[in-house]
Structure 1
Amino acid sequence: MLEKVKNIIVVLSGKGGVGKSTVSTQLSLALRKNGFKVGLLDIDLCGPSVPYLLGLEGRDIFQCDEGWVPVYTDDTQTLSVMSIGFLLKNREDPVIWRGPKKTSMIRQFLSDVRWDELDYLIIDTPPGTSDEHITVMECLKEVECHGAIIVTTPQEVALDDVRKEITFCKKTGINIIGIVENMSGFVCPHCTSCTNIFSSNGGSELAAYCQVPHLGTLPIDPRVGVLAGSSASVLDELPDSTTAEVLQNIVEKLKPITVT
């Protein structure tokens, strides 16, 4: 039930392991920090990491007449979360499903969750351009999806897969809000200097080549990794970090998307 959701944003990546779920969770927390009511839907069925990243593992979900009730991160109920991770007994349980069952579960997540009025719904997707993505796009045709944020790392092997994701968005008519380059350089936890242990600027160069916005470059920052397993926002815990600056800039770019 997405009728009460004002803005729907899909977070995509053609490559696994680029930090897409971390970007999704911290973006959701940053939006909440800016006073918005946010929902986070994790449809990475085979690798649902959102419950772990937000410290919500072991929480139960319940059903009401309108469908599943999402899990709230705190009593303010300003950030609500739904993930298949809440349906698994433990993190090590695999989801061994064929395509039709995955498709059915995603449709259920998009139609049978009782979201309250939300300013933003962030949808964290699995990597690639497979059945899950097609199902999401088909379901979102009935509502207005405001666009996709694409996450990449600067290495060429990741950029090749992200090019496919950009082509997928263009062929399916999804507006591309922009590209986030993640894991670009390593921030020393002691002196906070940044060293480019991999390549750099791949995300910005790809954005320029594909003529889509570049939303920012995020380094590998061990201080951000420490926040995994809690619902702590980088904006609160590390307000002077590059990660906090980039996330706030993304929030500012998202604000004009008709929030009333």
Structure 2
Amino acid sequence: MKIMSNECNHDCGACQEECDEKSFLAPMNAHSHVKKVIGIVSGKGGVGKSSITSLLAVLKQREGHNVAILDGDITGPSIGKTFGVDDTEIYSNGKEIIPAQTAHGMKIMSTNLLLEHPEDPVVWRGPILAGMIKQFWTDVKWGEIDYMFVDMPPGTGDVPLTIFQSLPLDGIVIVTSPQELVSMIVGKAVNMARQMNIPILGIVENMSYVKCPDCGKKIFVFGKSHLEDVIHKYDLNVLGQIPLDSELTKLSDMGMIEEYESDWLTELNTKVREF
């Protein structure tokens, strides 16, 4: 890290690189104080990134922290429904937006909360999508937040890049699934984060197995996991291998994910405490 002198006028060039990096950061809302910002990323869609975002937020909330979720998946928002706030009316005082609040007090901001009908498509080009994410950071009155989780759009394109550059991420969690192809996809997410100097807190393998309700045996419906190969190749910390669970699906559809309990969620919580 370069140390900038108090007398530096940027003409020396020694600190210019650091200044250039910081210049992309969007200003935090004036009436908000967010202590930690954690991005949840995936190299491709369909791996359950939003579900993992929701569960990590719930675990931190159960520790007694003030938690928020910024739904950065602008064109495919699902956080509002998962927490049962998709019908919440969002208010503004003309300068700031007041986020939705869940039954247990978590604060949520998602595109669907701003649409007249949840089924309305978000047909926007990249710069507008990126601008909306910045507005969720600068214009929403989050208040005092210990942990903000950002459900990021899948892939490594323009909009994820905007989040990496605009929000002060303290780290990311990578979500993957067991298929072999995902090893290459994970590599893209890992390399993007490292190029942007964002710490990788760990990796979660979602849809890892199904647990037999009779004997408790794990059934690997998508074949052998390649997680061990991935973590050794990219030197990653495993946060958990998450099963397919119909109870989780049911509660998510009902907007009651804050009520979910399971043995494996308790195991995941031991890793999340390290955040």
TM-score normalised to structure 2 length: 0.84
Change in CA separation of 1:101 and 1:230 when aligned onto 2, cut-off 3 Å: same
Give the corresponding residue for 2:10: none
Separation in 2, partners of 1:188, 1:132: 40
CA contact (8 A) 1:13 1:152 kept: yes
Q: 1:39 is paired with a residue of what secondary structure?
A: strand
Within a 5 Å distance, the mapping from 1:102-251 to structure 2 comes to 102-140=129-167, 143=168, 145-228=169-252, 229-233=254-258, 237-239=260-262, 241-242=263-264, 244-251=265-272
Q: Tell me by how many angstroms 1:158 deviates.
A: 2.2
The Cα of 1:89 is off from its aligned counterpart by: 2.5
Find the aligned partners of 1:209 and 1:72 in 2 and give their Cα distance: 40
2:49 aligned residue: 20
Question: d(CA) in 2 for partners of 1:222 and 1:133?
Answer: 30
In structure 2, what is the Cα distance between the partners aligned to 1:40 and 1:93? 22
- How far did 1:190 drift? 4.9
The answer (yes or no) to whether the contact 2:71–2:150 under 8 Å persists in 1 is yes
Q: How many residues align?
A: 245
- Which residue of 29, 35, 40 corresponds with 2:64? 35
RMSD: 1.7
- Displacement of 1:163 after TM fit? 1.0
Task: Report which of the two structures shows the higher radius of gyration computed on alpha carbons.
Answer: 2
**Conserved? CA contact 1:71–1:82, under 8 Å:** yes
Give, in whole Å, the separation in 1 of the partners of 2:224 and 2:243: 10
2:124 is matched by which residue type in structure 1? W
Q: Are the structure 2 counterparts of residues 213 and 55 from structure 1 closer, same or farther at C-alpha, using a change threshold of 3 Å?
A: same
The answer as to 2:129 corresponding to 1:85 is no
Determine helix, strand or coil for the equivalent of 1:206: helix
Aligned with residue 126 of structure 2, among 88, 92, 99: 99
Helix, strand or coil: the match of 1:123? strand
Unaligned runs of 5+ in 1: 255-260
Structure 2 segments unaligned to the other structure (5+ residues): 1-27
TM normalised by structure 1 equals: 0.88
Distance of aligned partners of 1:64 and 1:189 in 2 relative to their CA distance in 1, 3 Å threshold: farther
Question: In 2, distance between residues paired with 1:66 and 1:115?
Answer: 13
In the TM superposition, what is the alpha-carbon distance from 1:252 to its structure 2 partner? 1.7
Q: Residue deviations 1:73-107, cap 9 Å, x none?
A: 02x63x10000010123332111111121121111
Query: By how many angstroms is 1:189 displaced?
Result: 4.2
